[in-house]
Amino acid sequence: MENKSHALAAGLFVLVVAAMLAGLAVWLTRDNANYEQYELSTRDGVSGLQPQAAVRYKGVAVGKVTRIGFDPQVTGNVLIRIAVNEQAPISPTTFAVLGYQGVTGLAHVLLDDAEQPYPELPPGPSGLPRLPLKPSPFGKLAEQAPAILGQVEEATRRINQLLGDNNQQKLTEALTHIGQAAGSVNTLTQRLDATVAQRLDPALAALPPLASDARQTLQSLQQAGASVSALAVDLGKTNQRLNAEGGAIDQITTGTQSLARAADQFSTATLPRVNRAADDTARAARQMGRAAGGISDNPQLFIYGSGRIPPGPGEPGFGSAP
């Protein structure tokens, strides 16, 4: 009897703890937000999507999937019912797409906005508004998988054809020819290296000194040009000074005119006077010459004057009366 009472107490304790855990779970998972119901209809597969899956608007959790079934209006379409928080900014441009979490294969609903509004979809039999559901990237990949497999098969067939026995033999011959061409190119390169080393290198070595000389010559020409320019500037300034009013040319012209007037005055006034003075001087010189000649012939003139001198003894007429 005592064992049964212990078992009953243990069972009651387990039930009470289980009830408390259930109440705690309900309290922790309670959601007081208001939700709006929307429906999504798609002909693509929704593998990986489960009820209670998250609904995210641009990455933010705004609701959950409440039901997954078939669309009674369109045969073969899957109908997804979602509950979205009324505070989520659902607009005419909002669309839905299925997203997948890594490699787990679990799907969720992603809501986003397009640049242009979508045509408004008519509500389903339940009267709930519907949102457009765009194909997911995996759905597009699944649709294009047959075409991709066909292209892979065609590429494989062409590769097998390219790597056939005949093509392999041709490829081997082409590689052999390429090796021979590479050897010829190597020989030509060696010859070119020898030619460059024997002929072009000395010429290239002589180019730097020649360039240096040409640079020095150009510098000398530039200096000479600068000197000529400076000389031309100086000549221009000198020409301006010479041609300026009251300058050297004007002074030379004035001096020349004064000299011409002085020469004219000399020729008209001074020169005749000089000529007369020269004539008088010549006349006086002649007279002095005659006087000197007379004195030389008759020194007695200093004693007896210029009159006739009576003849002396032995001279004709000496002793006769004058």
Q: What is the pLDDT of residues 85-141, one digit of tens each?
A: 888 888 888 988 888 876 677 888 999 888 888 787 888 788 888 888 888 776 666
pLDDT for 81 equals: 92
Torsion of CA 250, 256, 262, 267, to 10 degrees: -150
Distance CA 71, CA 67 (A): 12
Token digits of residue 273: 């006077």
Residue 321 is given by DSSP the state -
Token digits of residue 74: 């369109």
Is 70 exceeded by the pLDDT of residue 301?
no
Is 80 exceeded by the pLDDT of residue 78?
yes
CB proximity list for 101: less than 8 A, separation 6 or greater: 107, 108
Residue 68 is given by DSSP the state E
Is 50 exceeded by the pLDDT of residue 322?
no
Q: Residue 71's closest CA among 79, 63, 62?
A: 79
Q: What is the pLDDT of residues 145-166, one digit of tens each?
A: 788 888 888 888 888 777 777 7
Is 80 exceeded by the pLDDT of residue 249?
no
Looking at per-residue confidence, does 97 or 229 come out higher? Answer: 97
CB proximity list for 274: less than 8 A, separation 6 or greater: none
Measured between alpha carbons, how far is residue 107 from residues 44, 55, 62, 95 in Å?
A: 13, 10, 15, 16
Orientation of helix 248-265 relative to helix 201-243, angle to 10°: 50
Q: Residue 133's closest CA among 70, 85, 80?
A: 80
Is 50 exceeded by the pLDDT of residue 294?
yes
Q: Please say whether the beta carbons of 310 and 321 come within 8 A.
A: no
Q: Please say whether the beta carbons of 88 and 62 come within 8 A.
A: yes
Q: Is 95 helix (H, G, I), strand (E, B) or coil?
A: strand
Distance CA 39, CA 130 (A): 5
Q: Is 35 helix (H, G, I), strand (E, B) or coil?
A: strand
Distance CA 240, CA 210 (A): 44
Q: What is the pLDDT of residues 41-72, one digit of tens each?
A: 888 888 888 898 999 998 888 999 999 999 88
Is 60 exceeded by the pLDDT of residue 321?
no
